[in-house]
């Protein structure tokens, strides 16, 4: 527990102030006083309303929708802190936007995740704390330390208490590694949905590898965006004889038709983490939100006290 709060400062942008407040509460401190607003032409203005000179600064900001606004808020807050002579600046980014653009899928495509990494570094961040990067290799896009925290254990602990999982299902080949770890923890088999995606946000289920008939199934993914993958996957395993279908994700992006799709899907319950704030108008009975404030609070404390982070990954 942090007791010498005169040397540490936590600031929050506008993306997820609820999570930032919860993290501060876990650390027995309060969020710093900052004004983040817009000029009439849409330009973002930031003013740190208290001294940060020589302090260990943590700026908490998910780069979720509106992605560009929240990213610019983060960059400008880092710049303001750097110019105010902050001692060390850690960008705490529970959800790292643009992470899906991590490679050139076609000729003349950008690698936007690398560009964002460069921007954060150039703005003046000394370290990044994030969770469940869509592609782990994004850590290597930074020339500063990056701690990629794990949301999986929080989801696992929730479902382990329910004691209602017979099979873990990977919704696509990209999530096999993550799903296998969960299946090993539960001590249950792994099934895989083999799919094809003809274009972005459009998914076609091809086949199911593994036995789901008469089973209670859990699908785990790092994020749910338009919910096409998870909903079509749930329909496929239900058609294959699954009795119950549960889903869990770290980042509930939930854009476009996601809410309607999930409401009408074969998923009995979707458990998500609060790396992205879920507004009231998006809440439905199938959803349950778990907090990651304790994990980020522990990580911030370890960074601040220069303690090892390895225990957070065990």
Active centre residues (catalytic) = 195
Query: What's the token pair of residue 127?
Result: 């370290």
CA distance 234 to 110: 32
Q: How many CB atoms lie within 10 A of CB 53?
A: 9
In this structure, what are the phi and psi dihedrals at residue 34, rounded to the nearest 5 degrees?
-140, 140
Q: Are 27 and 2 in contact (CB under 8 A)?
A: yes
């Amino acid at each position: 527990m942090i007791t010498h709060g005169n040397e540490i400062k936590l600031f929050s942008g506008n993306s997820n102030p609820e999570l930032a407040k919860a993290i501060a509460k876990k650390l027995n401190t309060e969020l710093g006083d900052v004004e983040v607003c817009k000029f009439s032409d849409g330009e973002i203005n930031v003013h740190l309303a208290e001294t940060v000179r020589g302090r260990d600064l943590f700026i908490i900001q998910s780069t979720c929708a509106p992605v560009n606004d929240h990213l610019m808020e983060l960059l400008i807050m880092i710049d303001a802190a750097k110019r105010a002579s902050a001692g060390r600046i850690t960008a705490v980014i529970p959800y790292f936007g643009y992470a899906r653009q991590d490679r050139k899928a076609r000729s003349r495509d950008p690698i936007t995740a690398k560009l964002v990494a460069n921007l954060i570094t150039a703005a003046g961040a000394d370290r990044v704390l994030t969770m469940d990067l869509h592609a782990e290799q994004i850590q290597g896009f930074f020339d500063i330390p990056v701690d990629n925290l794990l949301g999986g254990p929080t989801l696992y602990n929730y479902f382990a208490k329910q004691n209602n999982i017979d099979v873990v299902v990977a919704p696509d080949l990209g999530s096999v590694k993550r799903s296998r770890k969960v299946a090993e923890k539960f001590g249950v088999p792994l099934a895989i949905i083999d799919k094809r995606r003809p274009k972005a946000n459009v998914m076609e289920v091809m086949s199911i590898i593994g036995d789901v008939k008469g089973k209670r199934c859990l699908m785990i993914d790092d994020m749910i965006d338009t919910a096409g993958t998870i909903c079509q996957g749930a329909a496929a395993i239900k058609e294959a004889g699954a009795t119950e279908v549960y889903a869990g994700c770290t980042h509930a992006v939930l854009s476009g038709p996601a809410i309607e799709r999930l409401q009408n899907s074969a998923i009995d319950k979707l458990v998500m983490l609060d790396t992205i704030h879920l507004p009231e108008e998006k809440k439905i009975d199938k959803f349950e939100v778990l907090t990651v404030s304790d994990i980020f609070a522990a990580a911030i404390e370890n960074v601040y006290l220069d303690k090892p982070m390895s225990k957070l990954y065990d």
